[in-house]
Amino acid sequence: MSTKGHIIKNVKPGSIAEEMGLEAGDRILKINNNDIEDIFDYQYFVENEYIEVLISAKDGEECLLEIEKDMDEDLGVEFENGLMDDYKSCCNKCIFCFIDQMPKGMRETLYFKDDDSRLSFLQGNYVTLTNMKEKDIDRIIKYNLGPINVSVHTTNPELRKKMLHNRFAGEALKKIDTLYEGGVEMNGQIVLCKGINDGDELRRSIEDLSKYIPVMRSVSVVPSGLTKYREGLYPLELFKKEDAREVIAIIEEYQKKIYKEHGIHFIQASDEWYIMAEYDFPEEERYDGYIQLENGVGMMRLMRTEFDERYNELSELKCKHDIIISMATGVLAYDELSEYARLLEEKIQGLKINCYKIINNFFGENITVSGLITGTDLIDQLKSKELGVRLILPGNILRSGEDVFLDDYTLDDVKKALNEDIVIAPSSGDGLIDMILGILYNEGALKVSGKDKVKGFFGKFKGKSRKNEDEFYDINNSEDEFFDKNISDDDFLEENIGDDKYFDENDREDNGNFVYIDAYKNGGKNE
């Protein structure tokens, strides 16, 4: 029986693969007589109107299937390993590597140092290019993949060798030239280390990298994160307020220059620099469409813009009884969040929002982002605090797609330990306001009416269809007075539902409430 090829884990119902009789456990050996190294080969060879797929069935029998299909139609199979190959680990030992600074005894997967260009295309990971072979680059160009996210750190080859602790790291910079010549879109990243690649070295990097515009679309500059576990590692220093101001001055100087020439700002400072420098965040336009949002660049500006827009359309509200809600976040976002709390307290009479700053004792207090807060720190620092009816935590505090913190505490563990109902905030500023309104509504503290209710609640359900107009009026005239009678139907429809879409009566639960109320109970997740 063949052990070569790629094992199919699942066959999607109704797919071509199902029609061909493929089953879980079968192996795909070749497509159009080509060996399949990984997911990229697979995607590339499948994208044809006619393909021949060589299969080894579970019983070991080989057969050749001929398939005619639409060019971009997939076969509808999932493989045991998403990459269809082993994950490539890195061959560097960067002086600022976060993984080297983690305490012992955490989940094994957290210590895996990936540097796999395929994950750059699939998940947006940043790669150093040091372990990429010529054939990998050729394949990227041939398959027309992009964008690839490159951890550049410096364009000085000697310095790069030192920073990545890899004698091939300087030479690897030439791969950026090849990608550029091949027209592969790129984004760059510079992890800045004080006294190492800042100052004139940063200028040199920006000047060198800006030559790749427009193929290279952006470069972010982020400060190195230093935990308390740096014993035996390269001595790195923390950036202070004055350093942050210097970094911003360099970046903004080049933004102006580059914008004049190319119409984009290209080089971007992450939010941390502005907070550290005690400067306000730049205007929205400076983020070139928030191209580096995932890298912590512009998140705070975006959130504030969304918060302000929603806040400004909210009328003055009054709670039926006093109510307390709490929010917790890392040191970095604390002041911003406290300001949101203050503004909401001002607008909603009877509401008190306790905002708590969580010091990262787990990794050390120099780590200030909310994404690295652990369950242990939350419990230790909030257990004696007044939390009110709900504790709101930031969306990035849990591992993506799971209810687990970095230290393996689950959300339930923390809820039990604090004896508190916890909800996870949406990542948007308007979503945060709507979540708070929802909590107040659910706690019977607020009867939101008129525009606020329409925007806050029904606005979430754009696109849901309703059977007929009568039902719309039924909601409109319900006892709960969901709508302000002064809002005309046309305004309501145009502003909030749009395109003649109404609510479906199926959205009504047994108790007569509509599911959107529950959306808030659940933290607005079913938006």
Contact between 101 and ligand SF4 by CB under 6 A: the answer reads no
CB of 250 to ligand SF4, least distance (A): 23
In 3D space, the residue among 447, 438, 454 whose CA is nearest the CA of residue 488 turns out to be: 454
CB of 96 to ligand SF4, least distance (A): 7
Q: Which three-class secondary structure state does DSSP give residue 18?
A: helix
Q: Which three-class secondary structure state does DSSP give residue 11?
A: strand
- Residue 385, CA distances (Å) to 352, 357, 380, 430, 517 in order: 14, 12, 10, 27, 28
CB 400 within 8 A of CB 364: no
CB 28 within 8 A of CB 84: no
Exactly one of 113, 194, 203, 245 binds ligand SF4 (CB under 6 A); which one?
113
Only one of the segments 42-50, 90-98, 405-413, 428-436 lies at the binding site for ligand SF4 (rule: CB under 6 A); that segment is 90-98
Query: At a CB cut-off of 8 Å and minimum separation 6, what does 465 contact?
Result: 501, 502, 503, 504
CB of 156 to ligand SF4, least distance (A): 17
Only one of the segments 93-101, 311-319, 333-341, 493-501 lies at the binding site for ligand SF4 (rule: CB under 6 A); that segment is 93-101
- Nearer residue to ligand SF4 within complex by CB, 127 or 425: 127
DSSP state of 225: P
Contact between 241 and ligand SF4 by CB under 6 A: the answer reads no
Only one of the segments 87-95, 222-230, 465-473, 510-518 lies at the binding site for ligand SF4 (rule: CB under 6 A); that segment is 87-95
Query: At a CB cut-off of 8 Å and minimum separation 6, what does 48 contact?
Result: 32, 71
CB 422 within 8 A of CB 390: yes
- Residue 173, CA distances (Å) to 131, 133, 526 in order: 12, 13, 44
Exactly one of 12, 58, 93, 416 binds ligand SF4 (CB under 6 A); which one?
93
CB of 510 to ligand SF4, least distance (A): 52
CB of 119 to ligand SF4, least distance (A): 12
- Nearer residue to ligand SF4 within complex by CB, 109 or 419: 109
Exactly one of 63, 64, 99, 249 binds ligand SF4 (CB under 6 A); which one?
99
- Nearer residue to ligand SF4 within complex by CB, 20 or 119: 119
Provide the CB-side half-sphere exposure for 500 (13 A, CA).
Answer: 3
Exactly one of 56, 92, 131, 370 binds ligand SF4 (CB under 6 A); which one?
92
CB of 117 to ligand SF4, least distance (A): 12
Only one of the segments 42-50, 85-93, 341-349, 483-491 lies at the binding site for ligand SF4 (rule: CB under 6 A); that segment is 85-93
- Nearer residue to ligand SF4 within complex by CB, 92 or 370: 92
Number of residues that bind ligand SF4 (CB under 6 A): 9
CB 58 within 8 A of CB 47: no
CB of 99 to ligand SF4, least distance (A): 5
CB of 126 to ligand SF4, least distance (A): 8
CB of 187 to ligand SF4, least distance (A): 16
Contact between 196 and ligand SF4 by CB under 6 A: the answer reads no
- Nearer residue to ligand SF4 within complex by CB, 133 or 260: 133
CB of 164 to ligand SF4, least distance (A): 6
Q: How far apart are CA 277 and CA 258, in angstroms?
A: 23
| Residue type, position 137, single letter | I
In 3D space, the residue among 318, 314, 313, 291 whose CA is nearest the CA of residue 302 turns out to be: 291
- Nearer residue to ligand SF4 within complex by CB, 20 or 152: 152
- Nearer residue to ligand SF4 within complex by CB, 113 or 501: 113
Contact between 128 and ligand SF4 by CB under 6 A: the answer reads yes
Cis peptide before 426 (omega within 30 of 0): no
Cis peptide before 394 (omega within 30 of 0): no
Q: Which three-class secondary structure state does DSSP give residue 302?
A: helix
- Residue 155, CA distances (Å) to 53, 92, 213, 257, 270 in order: 44, 16, 15, 19, 19
Contact between 94 and ligand SF4 by CB under 6 A: the answer reads yes
50 forms bridges with which residues in the sheet?
A: 68
Only one of the segments 67-75, 94-102, 202-210, 289-297 lies at the binding site for ligand SF4 (rule: CB under 6 A); that segment is 94-102
- Nearer residue to ligand SF4 within complex by CB, 190 or 475: 190
- Nearer residue to ligand SF4 within complex by CB, 96 or 274: 96
CB of 108 to ligand SF4, least distance (A): 15
Site for ligand SF4 in 337-376 (CB under 6 A): none
Contact between 97 and ligand SF4 by CB under 6 A: the answer reads yes
Q: Which three-class secondary structure state does DSSP give residue 404?
A: strand
Only one of the segments 52-60, 86-94, 221-229, 389-397 lies at the binding site for ligand SF4 (rule: CB under 6 A); that segment is 86-94
Contact between 90 and ligand SF4 by CB under 6 A: the answer reads yes
Angle between helices 429-442 and 331-347 (to 10 degrees): 50
Query: At a CB cut-off of 8 Å and minimum separation 6, what does 320 contact?
Result: 350, 444, 445, 446, 447
Q: Order of strands across the sheet with 391-393? A: 348-358, 317-330, 391-393, 422-424
Interface residues toward ligand SF4, by CB under 6 A: 90, 92-94, 97, 99, 113, 115, 128
